[in-house]
Amino acid sequence: MDGLDRMDLAIVEALRRDGRITATELGARVGLSPSACSRRVRRLEEEGVLLGYGAAVNEAALGRGLSAILFISLQSQTEEHLSAFERAVRQCPNVVEGYLLSGQFDYALRVVARDVADYERIHKEQLSRLPGVSRIQSNFVLRKVAG
């Protein structure tokens, strides 16, 4: 991938804010013709800069108003244990984000639930049964402040 220029970065930022923007609107926002803008977007997709387009979801509107950030430690950090954990996490419908970490914990997960009772059920029936888990630290989100 060649270096990204100022225009590429402007396109990426505009698409990050609104992935449904039309080529005409995107071109106007960054100062390019729609066709030139479309060519750049296609190149950014082909080079793997733009990985896909998604929707920002209001979890509370779906009845999942409780959000928790979990820090998880595994019993072992071998590739086999990490892979088994990651495969199992992908099967948990209430886990909406997950990250492999360096430092004190092995993973950070964002989990959504209806309420505290629902979270307790998810913790007992799913999270604590994930392969190799030795410790889960749950932190409940009070308010989203960025992103």
Q: Quick one: tokens of 116?
A: 């505290």
Please list the residue range(s) of the chain that carry CATH number 1.10.10.10.
6-46
Neighbour-count burial for 42-51, b at 16+ CB within 10 Å, e otherwise: eebeeeebbe
Mean pLDDT of the chain: 95
Domain 6-46 has CATH 1.10.3110.10: no
Q: pLDDT band at residue 3, thresholds of 50, 70 and 90?
A: confident
CATH fold of the domain at 59-140:
Alpha-Beta Plaits (3.30.70)
> Could you report the per-residue pLDDT of 78-109, keeping only the tens digit for each?
999 999 999 999 999 999 999 999 999 999 99
Please list the residue range(s) of the chain that carry CATH number 3.30.70.920.
59-140
